[in-house]
Amino acid sequence: MEKLTLYHAAPSRSSIVRWMLEEVGEPYDLHVLKLAAGEQHAPEYRAVNPMGKVPALRHGEIVVTEAAAICTYLADEVPHARLNVPIGDPHRGRYLKWLFFAPACIEPAITDRAFPRQEQPPRGMLGYGEIDTVIKVVADAVEPGPYLMGDQFTAADVVVGSTLRWGMMFDLVPKGPEFVAYGSRLEQRPALQRATALDRELAQA
Ligand SMILES: N[C@@H](CCC(=O)N[C@@H](CS)C(=O)NCC(=O)O)C(=O)O
C-alpha cells in the first residue's frame, strides 16, 4: 500500500481518523500541526487542505479531507480490514447513510446546541431538522447493538461513535442507556484504546 500520512492535531477531529487508521492496521505517518500556533493556516498546509483544517490524509499522491470522507475512503481502500460495506451489498445504502448522517445532522445539531442561534431558523431550512429527532433516530439505531450495522463494526461506527462520544463528553448528547452502552462497546476496541493513548501522549508532549 502507498504511504499514508495523517495531518493531525490532538485532541481534534483528526482523532477520528487516527482511530480509523488504527482499525485499518496499515502503517501511517503523522504530520502534526499546532492549531493554537495557527500552523493550519500556513500556505504549505493550505496547499494540502485549503480549508485550513485538520484532518487531511495523504495516500501516495492522493489527498482526502473531511473526517467522514477519509474514513469512508480508508474502509474502501483496505477491504480486507472489513470496515466497509462494499458496493453491491444490500446494506451499503444504510452504511452510507450513517457515514453522512454524522457530519450532516449529528454534528451541526450538537454545535447549534452548544452555541444557540439568536434567531431559530425554520425547521425546513436546517438539514438536521431539530436535535430531539436526531438524537432519537441515532438512539434507536445504536440500541439493538452491538454496532450500527449489527454484528459488523464499520467505518460508520468510527464516525458516528466519535461524534456521540464527543457530544456526551460536553453534555450535548444525553447520556441515555443506549448511548452509554454503545460508547462502552466502542471503548473496548483495542484500536480506539491505542489511538486514545497515543493522542494523550501527543497532547502532553
Ligand atoms: N468538516 C471538517 C471539520 C474539521 C475541523 O473543524 N477541524 C478543526 C479541529 S477539530 C480545525 O482544524 N480547526 C482549526 C481551525 O479552524 O483553524 C471535518 O469533519 O473534517
Rounded to two decimals, the pTM is 0.98
* Whole-angstrom distance, CA of residue 198 vs CA of residue 6: 14
pLDDT band with cut points at 50, 70 and 90 for residue 33: very high
Which pLDDT tens digit goes with each residue over 155-170?
A: 999 999 999 999 999 9
Are the beta carbons of 45 and 33 closer than 8 angstroms?
Answer: yes
pLDDT score recorded for residue 17: 98
Q: Which of 109, 100, 151 is nearest to 129 (CA)?
A: 109
Burial of 96 (0-12, 13-18, 19+ CB in 10 A): middle
For the cut 90, the answer to whether the pLDDT of residue 205 exceeds it is no
How many A from CA of 52 to the centre of ligand 1? Answer: 8
Q: Is 107 in the pocket of ligand 1 (CB under 6 A)?
A: no
The gap from C-alpha 24 to its chain's centroid, in whole angstroms, comes to: 14
Mean pLDDT along residues 36-43: 98
In the block, residue with C-alpha cell 445504502: 93
How many A from CA of 124 to the centre of ligand 1? Answer: 26
pLDDT score recorded for residue 34: 96
How many A from CA of 169 to the centre of ligand 1? Answer: 18
Q: Which of 122, 72, 63 is nearest to 102 (CA)?
A: 72
Which pLDDT tens digit goes with each residue over 117-174?
A: 999 899 999 999 999 999 999 999 999 999 999 999 999 999 999 999 999 999 999 9
Backbone angles phi, psi at 131, to 5 degrees: -60, -35
For the cut 90, the answer to whether the pLDDT of residue 25 exceeds it is yes
Q: Is 174 in the pocket of ligand 1 (CB under 6 A)?
A: no
Q: Give every CB contact of residue 1 below 8 A, 6+ residues apart in sequence.
A: 26, 77, 78
Compute the C-alpha angle 169/170/176, nearest 5°: 65
* Whole-angstrom distance, CA of residue 65 vs CA of residue 89: 26
Which pLDDT tens digit goes with each residue over 62-109?
A: 999 999 999 999 999 999 999 999 999 999 999 999 999 999 999 999
Are the beta carbons of 72 and 153 closer than 8 angstroms?
Answer: no
Ligand 1 atom with least separation from CA of 51: 16
Q: Among 53, 64, 107, 166, say which to mutate for ligand 1: greatest number of ligand atoms within 8 Å of CB.
A: 53
pLDDT band with cut points at 50, 70 and 90 for residue 46: very high
| Three-state DSSP class for residue 154 | coil
Tell the residue nearest (CA) to atom 9 of ligand 1.
12
Q: Identify the helix (H) or strand (E) that includes residue 204.
A: helix 190-204
Q: Which residues pair with 57 in a beta bridge?
A: 6, 64
State the average pLDDT for the chain: 97
Torsion of Cα atoms, 172 then 176 then 178 then 179, to 10°? 20
* Whole-angstrom distance, CA of residue 77 vs CA of residue 87: 13
